Amino acid sequence: MSKPYVYVTRLLPEHIIEPYSDELEIQMWPYEEQPVSIEKLEEESHRADGLLTMLTDKVDQGLVEKSKHLKIVANMAVGYDNIDVDAATKFDITVTNTPDVLTDTTADLTFGLLMATARRMVEANQYIKDGKWGPWSPLLLAGTDIHHKTIGIYGMGRIGEAVARRARGFDMKVLYHNRSRKTEAEEKLGAVYVEFNELLEQSDFVVCMAPLTDETHHIFDAEAFRNMKKEAVFINASRGATMNEDDLYHALEQKDIAGAGLDVFEQEPIGKDHPLLQLDQVVCLPHIGSATVETRHKMMKLCLDNLVRYFRGDSPLTKVN
């Protein structure tokens, strides 16, 4: 009996792939940094029993409809807005993601981004590189305190809760807004549920950790930024389209808010001339929330475990639909 054929849309380390080769016939796109071409993805989806995809790969209804043999798509991300899950479900295609294994790593990055923005670390680093460091002055590159401030977390999922745990270590007051109350987080972390506008009005740091949905699309718009404190810092480490970038740029220029730390953008990748990159009070990262060697290897293995379990007839570990 032939092994199920799986196509992987990026080049993954051989030592990760090899242990699964007894049960799966695996072929990979031969480039690590270059995304799979649309033509190649369509070609492979026609013959593959399973796909291991990245967040940048669009598995839309048109592709699903043409994929006669496809049975499972293992997406190497927590989010899966790159996949038409409804279409996949209609054609009896299982979709999986990679939650849990990246929770703490992404929370580390998110809180690090908050700290870097609040304390102007990137700006200070560039200040030295530009040869500007001269005599000491009382308010040279003075940022804002983090300890004993109020953090407002929009989206209290696993990563949101992990960010809250880190905030408690800085003696911060934790507010949150979520589509449902998280009583366990309230009990364990002292987190306080508030309505969205109240979160905006009371928080010194507003952190977006929500998935991208119709409800959250551009939830952070001009009105939301106007409702924040003038001294507030906005952090987004979830999905870029939860914010309106033009509105954020104008809010920063007009000093409606004090700064922003961004790991995500509406259209990725961004170029060096992107307006937000021109503002000193903004720290930008290239969507590296889960980017540690340890975590990325765990994500790869979870995708492959899901594929193997599916083809064995077992339930995948992290099924979405």
Neighbours of 144 (CB within 10 A): 16
Neighbours of 280 (CB within 10 A): 12
The CA radius of gyration of the chain, in Å to the nearest whole number, is: 22
238: nearest Cα among 201, 213, 274, 273? 213
98: nearest Cα among 307, 314, 312? 307
Question: What is the residue type of 99?
Answer: P
152: nearest Cα among 97, 192, 90, 207? 207
Q: Which helix (H) or strand (E) holds 146?
A: none
pLDDT of residue 103: 97
Question: pLDDT in tens for each of the 321 residues of the chain?
Answer: 699 999 999 999 999 999 999 999 999 999 999 999 999 999 999 999 999 999 999 999 999 999 999 999 999 999 999 999 999 999 999 999 999 999 999 999 999 999 999 999 999 999 999 999 999 999 999 999 999 999 999 999 999 999 999 999 999 999 999 999 999 999 999 999 999 999 999 999 999 999 999 999 999 999 999 999 999 999 999 999 999 999 999 999 999 999 999 999 999 999 999 999 999 999 999 999 999 999 999 999 999 999 999 999 999 999 999
- Max Cα distance, the chain (Å): 75
How far is residue 38's CA from residue 191's CA, in Å, rounded to a whole number? Answer: 44
- Token readout for 53 is 């995809």
pLDDT of residue 1: 67
E strands along 54-170, which residues? 72-75, 94-96, 150-154
DSSP-based helix, strand, coil % in the chain, nearest 5: 40, 15, 45
pLDDT of residue 126: 96
Query: What is the CA 99 to chain-centroid distance, rounded?
Result: 11
- Token readout for 82 is 């790159």
What's the start-to-end Cα distance of the chain, in Å? Answer: 28
pTM of the full structure: 0.93
Residues with a catalytic annotation lie at: 239, 268, 287
Q: Do residues 57 and 35 lie in contact, with contact meaning Cβ atoms separated by under 8 Å?
A: yes
Q: Based on DSSP, count helices (H) and strands (E) in the chain, helices before strands.
A: 12, 12
DSSP 85-114: HHHHHHTT-EEE---STTHHHHHHHHHHHH
What structural domains does the chain harbor? 5-101+293-312 (3.40.50.720), 103-284 (3.40.50.720)
β-bridge partners, 319: 96
Peptide bond into 269 cis (omega under 30): yes
